[in-house]
Amino acid sequence: EDQVTQSPEALRLQEGESSSLNCSYTVSGLRGLFWYRQDPGKGPEFLFTLYSAGEEKEKERLKATLTKKESFLHITAPKPEDSATYLCAANEAAGNKLTFGGGTRVLVKP
């Protein structure tokens, strides 16, 4: 059974304190690994798609990386506006469905 596990469940950071979120996955032939940001009461907002091990993508203070077993979302010098829940999802090669992890709630204090 495909599984996606995110850790930690919650992360409290001081403004400027860099950290990393982990997303480990077990899928049959990864077709894509997706990262989303979700603000309270809103739909997830797409951030990145990674397709192969070694790939990296950046957007402002966020950088996503991918290995054969896991993905990391690095937050560099976070600001309070980076506070949100970050979701990762994996797509297996056999279909067009995404399996989501439980998310990491990030709180950045000024």
How far apart are the C-alpha atoms of 46 and 83, rounded to whole Å?
15
How big is the CA angle at 89 (ends 84 and 92), to the nearest 5 degrees? Answer: 175
The nearer residue to other proteins, 14 or 96, going by C-beta atoms, is 96
| Segment near other proteins (CB under 8 A); pick from 13-21, 53-61, 67-75, 97-105 | 97-105
Q: Using the rule CB under 8 A, is 81 a contact of other proteins?
A: no
The nearer residue to other proteins, 76 or 99, going by C-beta atoms, is 99
Site for other proteins in 42-71 (CB under 8 A): 42-46, 49
Q: Using the rule CB under 8 A, is 97 a contact of other proteins?
A: yes
How far apart are the C-alpha atoms of 105 and 19, rounded to whole Å?
13
